[in-house]
């Protein structure tokens, strides 16, 4: 994977510091307590840039250092993904095997363990922090049962895999959207969509203790849970639903609900939800000659405007802009 150009999340600067104590405090406030054991507090060559923003309950950060640096963290409370975008680093959690972070290899670190990062000069990375309870609940909802043991991932992430590529695409989309205060991230449905993409890409692509359970055949939900899920979506379309949340509401597992929708409606819960929201977009565009297509689509959770336009044309045999023009032409 080619290195990133420029700083990620640049409009959400937290700190640009040459002071070690200030840098340590900023990282502690955003992520977790850290220290720089090899840097003197009075050292005049130390430099750190830190940008960060919240996407739902996830913290997306970017940090860049000037000189080679060693970072030691406290025991983590949450899951942390470190994705190098410049330079190289040796990353190690607790007494585990080291991970050699490059632009093709990232690391994921579990709660309850300290991490040591030793980098060369010019090191930069994207840091993604996922609350432990949030990821655990997502996993439980997918399986439809309590977890019998901790959710543990294989620590090394191959950034060339489709799942990792999806994570990177989502992070780049978040980066692009973060520059516009009225853009995608200003809309709860779109933000929730980005959060779900990151969580599910991780859970379905990166090996972990429940990977095999996720691939086991799931019994299909009956007609009643499917009908109830449809009713919930229709009655509250503005709620940022996910398959796991719908499944919890109708008391089945996420995979069972997926299979129930496939058998009953020949679609998935989220595809069905997108179609309902597409109807809302069409209604708004058709009744207002002043409608802004991008604004309306984003408000209803369509984060990729190219795919939205293709889906709209497939459903209504016209472009969204054609619908607006028709509204203008009506007497």
pLDDT score for 22:
92
In the chain, pLDDT over 90 holds for what percent of residues?
Answer: 63
- Spatial separation of the C-alpha atoms in residues 174 and 186, rounded to whole Å: 11
Q: What is the pLDDT of residue 328?
A: 67
Res 3 pLDDT > 50: no
pLDDT score of 146:
84
Share of the chain above pLDDT 70, in %: 95
Q: pTM value?
A: 0.76
- pLDDT recorded at residue 25: 95
User: How confident is the prediction for the chain on average, in pLDDT?
Assistant: 89
107, β-bridge pairs: 82, 156
Task: Report how far residue 93's alpha carbon sits from residue 48's, in angstroms, rounded to the nearest whole number.
Answer: 22
Residue 157's pLDDT is 97
Beta bridge pairs of residue 102: 105
Residue range 73-83: mean pLDDT, rounded? 97
Element (H, E) at 37: none
User: Which residues contact residue 233 at a Cβ distance below 8 angstroms, ignoring those fewer than 6 apart?
Assistant: 241, 246, 269, 272, 273, 276
284-321 residue pLDDT tens:
999 887 888 988 998 898 888 888 999 999 999 999 99
Query: What three-state secondary structure class fits 129?
Result: strand
pLDDT range class, residue 171, cuts 50, 70, 90: very high
Q: Calculate mean pLDDT across residues 214-241.
A: 86
Cβ neighbourhood burial of 149 (10 Å; 0-12, 13-18, 19+): exposed
Note every long-range contact of 325-331, with CB atoms under 8 Å and residues 24 or more positions apart, other chains counting. Answer: 326/286, 327/285, 327/286, 327/287, 327/288, 327/289, 327/291, 328/289, 330/289
Residue 221: pLDDT over 90 = no
Which three-class secondary structure state does DSSP give residue 6?
coil
User: Which region holds residue 78: left if phi is over 0, alpha if psi is between -120 and 50, else beta?
Assistant: beta
């Amino acid at each position: 994977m080619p290195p990133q150009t420029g700083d990620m999340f640049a409009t959400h600067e937290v700190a640009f510091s040459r002071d070690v104590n200030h840098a340590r405090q900023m990282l502690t406030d955003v992520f977790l307590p850290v220290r720089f054991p090899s840097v003197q507090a009075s050292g005049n060559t130390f430099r750190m840039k830190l940008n960060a923003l919240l996407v739902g309950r996830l913290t997306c950060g970017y940090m860049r250092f000037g000189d080679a640096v060693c970072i030691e963290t406290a025991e983590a409370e949450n899951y942390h993904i470190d994705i190098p975008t410049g330079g190289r680093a040796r990353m190690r959690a607790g007494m585990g095997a080291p991970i050699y972070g490059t632009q093709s290899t990232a690391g994921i670190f579990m709660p309850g363990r300290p991490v040591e990062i030793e980098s060369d000069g010019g090191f930069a990375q994207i840091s993604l922090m996922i609350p432990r309870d949030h990821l655990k609940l997502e996993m439980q909802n997918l399986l439809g049962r309590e977890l019998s043991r901790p959710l543990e991932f294989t620590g090394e992430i191959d950034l060339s895999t489709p799942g990792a590529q999806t994570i990177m695409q989502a992070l780049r989309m978040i980066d692009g959207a973060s520059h516009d205060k009225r853009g995608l991230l200003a809309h709860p449905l779109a933000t929730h969509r980005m959060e779900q993409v990151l969580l599910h890409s991780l859970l379905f692509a990166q090996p972990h203790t429940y990977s095999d359970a996720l691939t086991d055949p799931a019994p299909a939900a009956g007609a009643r849970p499917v009908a109830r899920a449809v009713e919930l979506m229709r009655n509250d379309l503005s709620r940022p639903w996910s398959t796991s949340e719908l499944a919890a509401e109708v008391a089945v597992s996420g995979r069972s609900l997926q299979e129930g929708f496939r058998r009953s409606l020949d679609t998935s819960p989220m595809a069905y939800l997108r179609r309902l929201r597409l109807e809302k977009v069409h209604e708004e565009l058709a009744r207002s000659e002043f409608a802004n297509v991008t604004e309306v689509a984003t408000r209803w959770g369509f984060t990729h405007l190219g795919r939205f336009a293709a889906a709209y044309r497939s459903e209504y045999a016209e472009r969204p802009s054609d619908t607006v023009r028709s509204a203008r032409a009506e007497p």
